[in-house]
Structure 1
Amino acid sequence: MLRESNHRRTTRLLAMALLSCVMGEFNQPCWGQILGANFNERPKDVNTSLFAASENTWSRGFYDVLAMRGITSLETNENVLGLQRAADAGQQVLVSFKWNFKGFDRNVPAPGSDDELALFQRAVETLEAIDRPINAIVLGNEPMWETHDSDLSFSGGVVPYVQFTERLLDYVQTEYGSLQTEEPRYFLGSLNRLDQTSNQNRDVVQELFRVARDNPAISGMDLHIHFGTTAEARGMAQFARQTLGAEKDLLVTEFSPVWRYKDHLNDAIGATAAGSAFASQYGYASSLEVDEYLKNAFANQVSRQEWTDFITSQPWFNTNHLSDMHGLFEEFGVSIATLGYAQPLSMRGLDPTKPNYSPFHINWLYISALVEGTTLEAYNELYMEDWLHEQRFLADLDDDSQITLADYDTIRSSLHQDVANLSYNELLKLGDLNLDRSVDYLDLQRFFDSYASVNGVRLGDLNGDSIVDVTDWPLMLANMNTSLVAQGIDESLWQSMGDINRSGWVDRNDFRLFKNAYLAAGNRLASLEAGDSEIAAPEPTCCSLTVAACVWLGGRHWFQYSKRTASKTNSTTTYGSNDSHSLTGRIRVWLSRSR
């Protein structure tokens, strides 16, 4: 399958987004959406070196609570330790609880029973063992597949599984959530195959959506969208958004076109001209079936280039899967979607030729079981291209397919505001780019990184060394309050002279930009919103900027500028060393107050 160009893909997705925003039945602005890492039942596979390379900020794992009952030491459990590593690496953590009642051949326990209490306690003990902030908890995982039908239908006026989930929520809130510095958000789910009317009408589905809509303690619903056709995926997302309403959040913690792939496992890899060319290039028989090719790749690992050429040559493989799904998720207000992230080496030797095999495993981002090289090198090249594109364009807050200073202004205006109680979708619109429920310098850092990746220019890097640090500072100060247009300076030099916003004038707006870029680069000041009393004794970082400015510049130009500004507002102002209009005083005030 030929892969469309980045320009064509961006144009297509923008047209889809604009159409859905204009014609969508919810009459809501377009939503942003985060892609995250899904480790499923194996958080032990967390490899923190991958997070920076993929610019990832969210990690999800699930725990089978019934299976966890046999673990004597949760604190040393490798799956618990895996999410600890993720949190310590700066990840926002999402935990799902799996209740595999069918697998253990048992029914949902009776309300108030010792059995119910024991399960609730084990769930909370697992959260306590993680011992790290948890941003979101999904209270269930695929109940339609993992719970007996008798517990999914009304009995005595209640649906037993739903009643169990509501009681679980109360217990987790009381015994865990309310005791945390910041309480996790709670979601119901995870629901499957909601494109099918038979599933839509099931008692458990209707009741879970009712609770999600009506209970203020529930933040929304989680879906698993595994599909054969795009129409099926759309049907699932559309039904969920229509049934949930526009106010609460949707998550999708699993998604793949697995049933489409499964339908083609017995196709010949050389059935098309592109496939035949691939087979000839790499020495395979054109008649080799897809599942046999996959068996060989799982057994021996192929080069990353070969894997890219393989999937590109196969008409059943959608190489634009990530960008297509990202567009669909944005359309229906999915705030977080997590993808199969990193194949464990133990997956090598998998045999896709076995009966009833479902090829979930070829839809991951890092594919060390299929591709040779280190884990960092063994990624799905075309998925990674789209993954990074979507991660970076999360900073496109005004949805104009660009990352500009207009997006920066949105984040800056929301800095340090009280936004913790807003929905994820509302937070994304304000610039909470990692959805940690705060618009802060981590979000500005992500904006500046995304701006640099997309536009090829790092804002605030005046000397061109690709970082923002104290060595850039004097270049701005030397030109403060200077019209570069009036001096006839070539526009290509404006950034290096301190005109970061390219207005033709080096002014306070550029100062604000530099200061925020400096902070976002990890150079922390004593206080972002300090008063004059705090500025008088700044942190060493603040002092270093102030002293550097004085030494390099000699103070003359800045002092003259400060004096001119002061004379306009107060002709009797004097310039003592502690006054806010002195050389050091004015720099400290601007460092502390400019935002």
Structure 2
Amino acid sequence: MLSRLVPATAMAVGLALGAMPTAASAQPGAAQDRVVPSGAMSRPHPADGVLAANFNQDLGSLDYHELQAARATWIRGFFTMPDADKGDVAATTTIHTILDASRRNYGTVLSLKFPLAQTEMPAPGSAAMAAELARVDKVLPVVMGRVDILTIGNEPFNESRPQDRTEALNNFYETVAEHVIAYRRAHCASNCKTQLYMGALNRLDLPANRTPVVERWLQFVNATPEIQGVDIHPHVPSREAVQPFLDYVLPRLRPDQKFLATEFSLVWYWQRHMTDPIAPEFAQRYGFAADAKVWQVIEAAIAHPFPQQEWNDFLSSSPWYESQKHFLRDQMTAFRATGRLAVAGYGFRQDTVMEQNWGPDKVPWLLNSVFAPYTVQPAPNGQAGRGYAWIDDFRDVQRPADDQHGAEK
């Protein structure tokens, strides 16, 4: 770890957060028909250009005070399908949390993640396919008609073996989609709350990734009336790299279909700057060596979270970061300008995966987060520290109809 002249000291804060609990404090397995808790919101804006708080696999860290502080009225996470074999699906942290948020009238997006990067893609009719569909059948009765959007797949082209990114991938996901559609038709046909999307496509800014398999993926989405659209994940190395996603996907959808962007960020741009030297004025003010690198300062913050002002000063003094601090605002403007955005999701909270095994080659997902509990000390009111710059724009781009829910400053 980087040695510094003036080490940061973590602040011990034990203030209670009040009446609205974190998701982790709620009781799993609660009855599905329980009364909506006090403090629940009125219905959020419909899925038309909204911005959600994205938690990925870490929905258990959801805190309603943090959502309120950011004026978030939609949430998104994913469920890893092998977890369906571990017992009552409704009692898993992910499903319990997203259903609790739904009962509190938050908009909800749930992606079904099939982690197949280490195993052969199941073929339709095989025992492996039957096992995957059995997992799907454990999840659907719990979430269908309760979540607003169910996305079939998370990142199939990352969560598969390279040799399986052929028609084998199409066959698998089309079989799952048809199974989900059949269930929805049989059990949630009349005014079903849950819309279906397919997801998600990555790195379409690279021509090499616009393959016949991706083309067939979009053809299936287009040709299937029950599918409302497709999810994209524009994690990119520059602002300009997002537009190729839209240019490729939107012409291939039906006019009545929309797109999700449940994850988007400049993470590959951040990564290019991990070995940059830090600003001399920051180094001098906070006691870092003059030749310290960006990744080393982040390492120090992980070891001993910084006061909020020090974290803000670190990033605001980094021209590569300061110049992009309105990426969230500007990208939401671009997404909405298409008239086709349903829901976008932005990384809401740092998690343990982001800070583990930190080093110069670690992908710096933690720089995306609206809340930064792993690098920033808690606020005096006990709320998690914040990522620099994001929360104001996150609030400001919420739909006007959502402003009635207010925000904690």
- Shared fold by TM > 0.5? yes
- What residue number does 2:148 align with? 135
* Change beyond 3 A, Cα 1:349–1:133: closer
Question: Shift of residue 128 of structure 1?
Answer: 2.9
The answer to whether 1:307 aligns with 2:308 is no
* Change beyond 3 A, Cα 1:348–1:198: closer
- What residue number does 2:68 align with? 52
* Change beyond 3 A, Cα 1:32–1:286: farther
* Change beyond 3 A, Cα 1:349–1:300: farther
Aligned pair partner of 2:226 in 217, 223, 236: 217
* Change beyond 3 A, Cα 1:347–1:101: closer
- What residue number does 1:505 align with? none
Contact 1:81 1:130 in 2 (8 A): no
Say which structure is richer in helix. 1
Q: Which whole-Å deviations, capped at 9, do the CAs of 1:336-364 have from their partners, x for residues lacking one? A: 111111224x469644325x311112101
Question: Shift of residue 230 of structure 1?
Answer: 1.4
Q: Which deviates the most, 379-388 or 233-242?
A: 233-242
CA distance in 1, matches of 2:168, 2:223: 18
SS in 1 for 2:229: strand
* Change beyond 3 A, Cα 1:141–1:448: closer
Question: Shift of residue 377 of structure 1?
Answer: 4.5
Contact 2:325 2:389 in 1 (8 A): yes
- What residue number does 2:334 align with? 328
TM-score by length of 2: 0.80
SS in 2 for 1:338: strand
The letter for the 1-side match of 2:307 is S
- What residue number does 2:51 align with? 35
- What residue number does 1:279 align with? 283
- What residue number does 2:113 align with? 98
The letter for the 2-side match of 1:85 is D
Aligned pair partner of 1:360 in 335, 342, 365: 365
Q: Which whole-Å deviations, capped at 9, do the CAs of 1:391-422 have from their partners, x for residues lacking one? A: 1xx22xxxxxxxxxxxxxxxxxxxxxxxxxxx
Contact 2:201 2:231 in 1 (8 A): yes
Contact 1:38 1:59 in 2 (8 A): yes
CA distance in 2, matches of 1:52, 1:38: 14
Q: Which whole-Å deviations, capped at 9, do the CAs of 1:155-210 have from their partners, x for residues lacking one? A: xxxx222222222222223334642362411111200011111111x122101111
CA distance in 2, matches of 1:372, 1:177: 49
- What residue number does 2:35 align with? none
CA distance in 1, matches of 2:180, 2:159: 21
Question: Shift of residue 215 of structure 1?
Answer: 1.3
Question: Shift of residue 288 of structure 1?
Answer: 0.9
CA distance in 2, matches of 1:348, 1:98: 19
* Change beyond 3 A, Cα 1:61–1:124: farther
The answer to whether 1:165 aligns with 2:173 is yes
CA distance in 2, matches of 1:113, 1:366: 44
Question: Shift of residue 366 of structure 1?
Answer: 0.9
The letter for the 2-side match of 1:189 is G
- What residue number does 2:264 align with? 255
CA distance in 2, matches of 1:282, 1:177: 61
* Change beyond 3 A, Cα 1:389–1:69: closer
The answer to whether 1:111 aligns with 2:124 is yes
Q: Which whole-Å deviations, capped at 9, do the CAs of 1:53-85 have from their partners, x for residues lacking one? A: 2111211111221x2254123232222222223
For structure 1, the 5+ residue unaligned runs are 1-30, 154-158, 271-275, 396-442, 454-595
Aligned pair partner of 1:179 in 172, 176, 187: 187
CA distance in 2, matches of 1:131, 1:175: 9
Contact 2:144 2:194 in 1 (8 A): no
How many residue pairs are counted as aligned between the two chains? 355
The letter for the 1-side match of 2:61 is D
SS in 1 for 2:263: strand
Contact 2:99 2:147 in 1 (8 A): no
CA distance in 2, matches of 1:49, 1:162: 41
CA distance in 2, matches of 1:260, 1:57: 29
The answer to whether 1:268 aligns with 2:274 is no
- What residue number does 2:292 align with? 288
The letter for the 1-side match of 2:113 is K
CA distance in 1, matches of 2:104, 2:152: 25
CA distance in 2, matches of 1:148, 1:349: 26
CA distance in 1, matches of 2:353, 2:170: 35
Aligned pair partner of 2:86 in 71, 88, 108: 71
SS in 2 for 1:143: coil
Structure showing greater radius of gyration is 1
* Change beyond 3 A, Cα 1:126–1:139: same
CA distance in 1, matches of 2:404, 2:354: 39
CA distance in 2, matches of 1:64, 1:279: 42
The letter for the 1-side match of 2:164 is D
Contact 2:372 2:384 in 1 (8 A): no
Give the CA RMSD over aligned residues.
2.5
Identity of aligned residues (%): 24
For structure 2, the 5+ residue unaligned runs are 1-46
CA distance in 2, matches of 1:129, 1:48: 22
CA distance in 2, matches of 1:50, 1:177: 37
CA distance in 2, matches of 1:303, 1:376: 13
Contact 1:195 1:239 in 2 (8 A): no
SS in 2 for 1:254: coil
Question: Shift of residue 281 of structure 1?
Answer: 2.2
Contact 2:282 2:314 in 1 (8 A): yes
CA distance in 1, matches of 2:209, 2:335: 21
The letter for the 2-side match of 1:63 is F
Question: Shift of residue 131 of structure 1?
Answer: 7.6
Contact 2:270 2:364 in 1 (8 A): yes
- What residue number does 1:337 align with? 344
SS in 1 for 2:264: strand
The answer to whether 1:319 aligns with 2:332 is no
The answer to whether 1:383 aligns with 2:390 is yes
TM-score by length of 1: 0.56
CA distance in 2, matches of 1:79, 1:141: 14
The letter for the 2-side match of 1:170 is E
* Change beyond 3 A, Cα 1:387–1:308: same
